[in-house]
Amino acid sequence: MEYIKSFIETLVTIIILFSAIELISPNNSMKKYIKFVLGLILIVVMLNPIIDFFTEGEDKIVSTIKEYEGILSTDTETSSDVAASNEVEDVFIENLNKNSATELAEKFPDYKFVCDIDCNIDLNNFSYDISHAKISISTNKIQEVEKIEKVEISNDNKTNSQAYSDDEQKILSYVSNMLGISEDKIEIYTVS
C-alpha cells in the first residue's frame, strides 16, 4: 500500500512539474524536443517503482507470506493441542465409566451397571478428581409390575434422604472404596 501511495504522489508531482515547464517553454522548434525529454523522464519515473518491485519486492512479499504462515501455523498448533487434550479427557472419562461398570458387574453378577462419572482431569500432573458419580443398577431378572402408590405432595421443607437397600448399600460402599470418594458424592438409581 505504501508503494502505491508513493508512486501516485511522485507521478502527480512530475505531471504538475511538466505542465509548468510546458507553459513557460517558448513556442518554437525546441518545444517538441522539450516534450520528448519530459516524456522520457515521465517514462523513467513510471517504470522506477515497477523495477523496484521486481528487484526488492519479491523479498518483501516472501517475508510477509512467511510471517503470515508462521502466525497461521502457531494458531493451528494451539488449536490442535486443545482438541487433542479434550479428546484425551473424553476417552479417559469413557474408559473410567466402562471399567467401573465392568468391575461392578464382576463383583455383583446379579446386576447390570451403567456408570456416569463426572471428573476433572489434569493432564499436566496426570491426576483426576471425581466430583460426582451416578450408578444405574438393573437386575437381570424379570420382575412383576408393581401397583402405583399414591404420591403425596407436601409443602414441608424437609429433604428426604434416600434410603438404600442392603445390596445397594453394599454397592455404594464398594464404589466408594473403588473410586476413593465419599459416599455423599455417589448416587445410585435402580432401573426396573
Residues 6+ positions from 53 with CB-CB distance below 8 Å: 3
pTM of whole model > 0.75?
no
Other CB atoms within 10 A of residue 139 CB: 13
DSSP assignment string, 85-115 = HHHHHHHHHHHHHHHHHHHHHHH-TTEEEEE
> SS3 of 70, please?
helix
The DSSP H or E segment spanning 167 is helix 166-179
Distance CA(183)–CA(131), nearest Å, equals 11
Which cell numbers in the block locate residue 124?
A: 499436566
> SS3 of 75, please?
helix
Strand 186-191 with 127-139, pairing: parallel
| Contact indicator for 11, 45 with CB cutoff of 8 Å | yes
Each residue's pLDDT tens digit in the chain (192 positions)?
A: 677 788 888 889 999 998 898 888 888 888 888 889 989 998 998 888 778 777 776 777 777 788 888 887 777 777 777 777 888 888 888 998 999 999 988 998 888 889 999 988 887 787 888 888 999 888 766 556 667 777 777 765 544 445 667 888 888 898 889 888 888 888 888 876
Enumerate helices (H) and strands (E) in the chain, giving the number of each. 4, 3
pLDDT score of 51: 82
Distance CA(170)–CA(173), nearest Å, equals 5
